Amino acid sequence: MADKQYITIKGVKDGLVFLLDDRCEFSALLDELRYKLENTHQQLLSGPLVHVQVKLGNRRVNEDEKERLRAVIRQQGNLLVQSIESEHPAEMAAGRLALKVMTAIVRSGQTVEHEGDLLLLGDVNPGGALRCTGNIYVLGALRGMAHAGCDGDEKAVIAASLLRPTQLRIAGVISRPPEEWISGDAAMEYAFLQDGVMKVDKTTQLHRLRKESVFFKGV
């Protein structure tokens, strides 16, 4: 197993990235992943919770294979799979239509990144951050930073049950200071761009911005 190099594990600011070879058999990936986590990377498996991003290269995988990857990583108590991403054209096309549902509390110092739309069931605490290429929906309190349409999609929106962010970004536009536009209303609100300016309205008015509901697009 020592001469196998199907998996590269790199440390990044927000956790770890697992780079998986896309030319070998899937079973070989699982074998090496188990070996590395159990024998050669013990220093990664102690201490606080570590977020893991799995990069599949050009490999196409099904949901069962993704779950098998998650299961191996979950065996190590402090590793949490944040995302499993493929550069395969079919996987990328499906990812643009899919809405990722995540149940969590995003705490200070944590960043959640996703290619596509994100529905977070939980809170984003001050110092926490969300970054998505699509729309962001938070069924909870958004008190940290959120960046929707981070690849340049100016039609993206950011909605939250309680919208009290430290900063909002849509595409390349950064929000004005929160006290200038947060209404203080208890109703669920969303932020959007209009003529290049960020605005906030009640989510019940979202249908005026979209002919069809972006919330359920692709679900």
177 to each of 166, 174, 182, 209, how far by Cα in Å?
Answer: 8, 9, 9, 23
Phi-psi region of 191 (alpha: psi -120 to 50; beta: other; left: phi over 0): beta
The tens place of each residue's pLDDT in the chain, 219 residues long, gives 445 588 998 888 778 899 999 889 999 999 999 888 887 666 666 667 888 889 998 888 888 898 999 899 888 778 888 888 887 555 555 555 468 899 999 999 999 998 889 999 999 999 999 999 899 999 999 999 999 998 888 889 999 999 999 999 999 999 865 555 555 566 788 888 988 888 888 887 776 665 433 444 433
Residues 90, 96, 101, 102, CA torsion sign? positive
Whole-model pTM: value is: 0.53
The single residue listed with the structure tokens 């402090």 is: 78
Burial of 78 (0-12, 13-18, 19+ CB in 10 A): exposed
Domains, the chain, ordered by start: 1-95 (3.30.750), 98-219 (2.160.20.70)
The answer to whether the CB of 183 falls within 8 A of the CB of 206 is: no
